[in-house]
Amino acid sequence: MKAGRFVQELFYRDCKVAVSPDRHALASSQKISLEKLANENWVVRKSHQSTRIVDGFRLLCKNACFSQRVVNEPGSMQAVLAMVAAGIGVSLAPSCISRFYHHRLAFIPIQPDPPRLDLVAARPDGDPPPTVAAFLDMLRNTFLRSRGNAFTADRRWPDNAGACCGSASDIDIDIFTSG
């Protein structure tokens, strides 16, 4: 394929949240500054499996003038959340994760607001093949229903929120930190 122009389309914008066990002293906070988590044990996903997001989370902590004291680095987000729920430490996650796993966890918005996580599809310029066009239409329809990017009253992501990542052969979908 020749080097050429690409078309990008933003499908979804998500925020980053602190994740703690629901019995943690800060779990009932409406918002939290990362500095309040500086002395906590941290559970973070292995950086080689989700480099862009994990590096972005580490940078947030560095900008808050601390390094995470990482006590465990599981290979999946589900394992991270299970360990946080068990009280092993705290973590950071895209807020949409609360839609999938919220038992015994608190998802706390961070203040000041960190840069957003963007789900962007990029494809070569021009008319896309029919399968790519159908996939893009499916994404548009899915994410059009989830434009209300806000927590529900019980601080879970709305059930119609979209997924955080995906892929297809003729199109790249990735999460980028804006700002």
Q: Where are the domains of the chain?
A: 6-12+116-177, 15-109
Confidence of residue 67 (pLDDT cuts 50, 70, 90): very high
The CATH architecture assigned to 15-109 reads 3-Layer(aba) Sandwich (3.40)
In tens, the pLDDT along 112-130 reads: 988 888 888 888 888 999 9
Q: How is residue 93 written in tokens?
A: 């996650």
pLDDT at 4: 67
Q: How is residue 162 written in tokens?
A: 């979209």
Q: How is residue 166 written in tokens?
A: 């995906």
In tens, the pLDDT along 80-120 reads: 999 999 999 999 998 888 877 778 999 999 999 888 888 88
In the numeric block, the tokens 């589900």 are attached to 78
Could you tell me if 113 and 33 are in contact, meaning their C-beta atoms sit under 8 angstroms apart?
no
Confidence of residue 168 (pLDDT cuts 50, 70, 90): very low
CA distances (Å), origin 105, targets 71, 131, 148, 161: 18, 39, 22, 19
Confidence of residue 146 (pLDDT cuts 50, 70, 90): low
